[in-house]
Amino acid sequence: MRTQPSPSRARPKPPRPTARPLLAACLALGLLACDEGSGLSPRGSSGPPASDAGGGAWQGQDGSTGAVDASVGAMDAAVGATDGAVQGPDASTGGSSPDAGTGGSNAGGTDDVYGTAIARDGSYWVDGARLMHGGTELELRGVNWFGLETTERALHGLWSGRKVADFLAQVQSLGFTALRIPVSRDSIRPGYASASWANHDGVDTGREQLEELLGAADAAGLRVLLDIHTCDSAISGGFSGSPEACSGYTLDDWKSDLATLATLAKSHASVVGIDLFNEPHNATWSRWRELVAMGARAVLGANPRILVFVEGVGDLSDAGGYAPFWGENLVAALTAPVDVPRSRLVFAPHVYGPSVYRQPYFSDASFPTNMTGVWDAHFGHVRNAGYPVAIGEFGGRYDTAGSPSDRAWQEALVAYLRTRGIRHSFYWCLNPNSGDTGGILLDDWKTADAGKVDLLHRLWQ
């Protein structure tokens, strides 16, 4: 999840409004129902529905299956065709289908992973800015689904009576091809009980809930990015800010958890990679790149056939003149590169809009056209240099009346990503109980937000 830096930071920013104090109060009361986004109940304002008929094929606002507006509107023009020329060795962004094209003759080769030649056949690997699985090019059209990283150690929404497979079928019907799944040590390691509303047929721990999801994703043909979201399930994702920041959790613990996830991925072909740590804003870029080197070796030492996803930092390092959201700052990624094999490296910044926090540039007279410069400074330059970029989290409110500036921000980001050739992203989130963004699903946990889905279809077209 994403939040703002604490008020102790040098930048004169107030603490995060309303959402996080509610979460803190919830945790203080010892409630298991604390949600990842904020608020006191994970069930949305209407509570859990008594029953569920399941999700059907997506219908757009005009009622036709999959119908979307083919135009991205004025924001494409604002980003500019000349600004959008992707530099580096991978000028082509590939086709529009989720698994488009092949890797050509390179698909049958090998990659050097810390001195060992690893066959590309059966591996996830990077070709320029393209993500590959064997000889197949991938496009990660993803959504985050949280819950396993919380003290409930279960995917939220299962209290509705819907099964994991039912949710995944709906996710696919909406056009998604991938999931980003936040986890914590309690859902990585065996033996930690999951919430009673999720338990069934002997599946009653966080680890078993995770394995059930991965099995269902394997069967459905969905890709999965596993994200170490927090080093303590009692600490909401983003607040720890570093794998070094949790009491009683050591770097050896973190590397062990990374290796455990990487080993688990050997049994689940759906797992495309591991996101090393969520929003490491409490680390400078210098320290984070040291941690990345450790974490990548832990992952690839256990399983060299998957990818390593590396987020940006916060405001403790140069942010290019613009205040970053946690995880967004990749300003130094080219001048002080991380030590990860190029064939396994994916950068995964997080980026948010006014509904999460009103950064100064959201009030600029040129908003939202001014966002091109902000995004280029924070992560766009990495994509322009030929590296793969997958937006690990983005999202927000999307109603014209209540959140007009956030709607404009999301429209601008979609235009920017299309123009820059950034084809991989994970929307935050499936869950309606994210306090400052809402979700793809509404409070009944089955009805899709038509506006958000249409927006994403424009991104994917």
- Contact in structure between 406 and 354 (CB atoms under 8 Å): yes
393 labelled catalytic: yes
212 labelled catalytic: no
The helix (run of H) or strand (run of E) holding residue 137 is strand 136-138
Amino acid at 35: D
Tell whether omega for the bond before 404 is within 30 degrees of 0, i.e. cis. no
Give me 421's structure tokens: 């050739």
| Gap between the Cα atoms of 56 and 213, Å rounded | 20
| Gap between the Cα atoms of 102 and 288, Å rounded | 34
- Contact in structure between 173 and 58 (CB atoms under 8 Å): yes
The β-bridge partners of 261 are: none
Annotated active-site residue in 279, 311, 328, 411 = 279
- Contact in structure between 72 and 458 (CB atoms under 8 Å): yes
Q: What are phi and psi of 50, to 5 degrees?
A: -70, -30
Residues in Cβ contact with 229 at an 8 Å cutoff, skipping those fewer than 6 apart:
1, 146, 149, 182, 183, 184, 237, 278
In terms of phi and psi (left: phi > 0; alpha: psi -120 to 50; beta: otherwise), the region of 452 is alpha
**∠371-377-382 over CA atoms, to 5°?**
120
Annotated active-site residue in 152, 208, 212, 393 = 393
| Gap between the Cα atoms of 143 and 450, Å rounded | 15
Could you identify the residue written with the tokens 């590939």?
94
Q: Which residues are identified as catalytic?
A: 279, 393
